[in-house]
A and B are shown apart, each in its own frame.
Chain A
Amino acid sequence: MSDRSDGADRDKGALPSRRVVLALGAAAASTVVTIRPALAQTAGSVLNCEIPVPAPQAGAGQFIAADGSLVPAGTAGAYPPLARPLKGEEVKAMLNGGRPPAGVDGEAAQAYANYIRRLQAGMSGFTCYASLQMPR
């Protein structure tokens, strides 16, 4: 019963003993190290960042096609630009759960979500999108 099941035994394929010894260690010993990536540091504010759809420099006034690409205003089957930027929280809900932002219908939200997935470094909203992706 006093056998300690260590990694070497497991590597050899030995069955772990039914009662594995767990040493709780000294009270002063540290057991938790937290990694805080730069983007994760902003986790609290990530949900408040904003993504304009589309980014002004990408073509203000252009419509967003179902696949997320930008097309000339008025293109059939494409959706008009959003009047307001989307909040990180809305984008997260839309990307993860398919829940459209308030006032946006489901199909349009899908097009906007596809647009956001195509964002690249340097475009408005990219940093926000990247931050939202961090936890996944």
Chain B
Amino acid sequence: MAASLYAADPPDAMREVEIEGLTLLYHRRSGLTHFLAPPAPQILAALAGGPAGAEAIAARIGEAFEIESEDPVAAIGARLAELEAAGLVWRT
């Protein structure tokens, strides 16, 4: 499977508030609010550095976090699909 590249709006297009480990994210362009659990906010933060595929996103997240997962790329791929369905990321 060819790795898709995903992009997200820049951080200033969103307003984030952390609540008890969850992130309440308001997406200005759509006017929608989302509740995100980790690692979704970290994926969006990683995409602030430009479009990337699941593997590159895992690498970016790995710079700041100790990733705990048997298959980081698959897990991030699943999260990307969710974020895509919510309109927060899209394929480039």
Contact = CB atoms under 8 A, between A and B. Distances in A.
Q: When A and B form their complex, which 6 residue pairs have the shortest distance between CB atoms, in order from nearest? A: A24-B75, A24-B69, A22-B65, A135-B31, A27-B78, A31-B37
Contacts, number: 87
A32 B67 CA distance: 19
Interface of B: 20-21, 26, 28, 30-40, 42, 61, 64-69, 71-72, 74-79, 82-83, 85-86, 88
A21 interface: yes
Contacts of B77: 27
A32 B68 CA distance: 19
A33 B32 CA distance: 11
20 contacts: A19-B65, A21-B65, A22-B38, A22-B61, A22-B67, A23-B68, A25-B69, A25-B75, A27-B74, A31-B39, A34-B34, A34-B86, A35-B34, A35-B35, A36-B32, A40-B30, A40-B31, A40-B33, A43-B31, A135-B26
Interface string A11-37: 000000001111111111011111111
Interface residues of A, number: 25
A135 B36 CA distance: 18
Contacts of B78: 27-28
A31 B31 contact: no
A43 B32 contact: yes
B38 A32 contact: no
